[in-house]
Amino acid sequence: MNSAQVPAPARAATITWRLATVAGVVTETPRARTLILDVPGWPGHRAGQHVDVRLTAEDGYQAQRSYSIASAPQDGQLALMVERLDDGEVSPYLTDVLSVGDRLELRGPIGGYFVWDVALGGPLLLVAGGSGIVPLMAMLRHREAALEIADARTRHNVPARLLYSSRRWDDVIYRSELTRLAQDDETLEVALTFTREAPPEWTGFRRRIDRMMLAEVAWPPGERPHVFVCGPTPLVEAAAAALVELGHDPALVKTERFGPTGERG
């Protein structure tokens, strides 16, 4: 082929700010809600990626925060889960004020490191604290959609386990969806732990995630699970350190700290 026939390579796309429209709002817990967004020109994402959201005040002051994408790449619309922080600069607007038809500036998808898809294989171990469930939920939703159309061998190759720490029952985000997913899929196990108050009759874990709990829930390091840990910084650091102590390869333990406030900057 001679070079004159080669079309000029398109300039690689940079991540640009886009105007999204709120298409729906779902209340998840008393403090958290999901924003379902229409984003014209959205290029698609991978499970685990996030977006930056930018708010501009009338005087031009801008505040910017990162939010994990909750929807699977297969879903038609983009879903973000926002937890209200009482002293937050951005989240109270997103949880209390923004409503259907309003517009929102965002850019993304961002970050290719904390991502998983079925092609990467399993086993898949997910460890979440609080709203750290969000990017991991995108992975579970992606996995479910992908396995629906996969053969038996692929299903067998990507078993998943989720260990999810919440303060109390009412704080468990996606509670009914997680219950349904675990019931319908024998290769998915969901373990909850409660750090403040467990429901009555609760027979599961009732403490912060620790090494013993991870040893009980996780596959042996020899199985080389892909591990994703997301939540408040202290939880992420404790869980990641315990997993490495248990013998998991640090290169397979990927972390996403939300910071002490839960609102990433």
Partner 1 sequence: MNRDDRQAFERQSVDERVGEAERLDGNAAAGILSEVFVPDLTTARATCANCGTIRALGALLVYAHGMGTVMRCPSCDAVVLRVARTRAQLWLDLTGARLVVMAAAAAPSVA
Report the candidate in 108, 75, 129, 122 with the shortest Cα–Cα distance to residue 256: 129
- Report the nearest approach of partner 1 to the CB of residue 130 (Å): 15
- Residue 211 or 264: the one with the smaller Cβ distance to partner 1 is 264
Sign of the four-CA dihedral 116, 207, 202, 245: positive
Residues near partner 1, by CB under 8 A: 1-3, 6-7, 9, 12-15, 50, 52, 64, 66, 107, 110-114, 233, 254-261, 264-265
- Residue 111 or 221: the one with the smaller Cβ distance to partner 1 is 111
- Report the nearest approach of partner 1 to the CB of residue 187 (Å): 27
Cβ contact 51:69 at 8 Å: yes
Report the candidate in 75, 74, 1 with the shortest Cα–Cα distance to residue 37: 75
Strand partners, 142: none
- Residue 110 or 215: the one with the smaller Cβ distance to partner 1 is 110
- Residue 3 or 176: the one with the smaller Cβ distance to partner 1 is 3
Helix axes 133-148, 175-184, angle to 10 degrees: 30
- Report the nearest approach of partner 1 to the CB of residue 39 (Å): 16
- Report the nearest approach of partner 1 to the CB of residue 9 (Å): 4
CA distance 19 to 41: 10
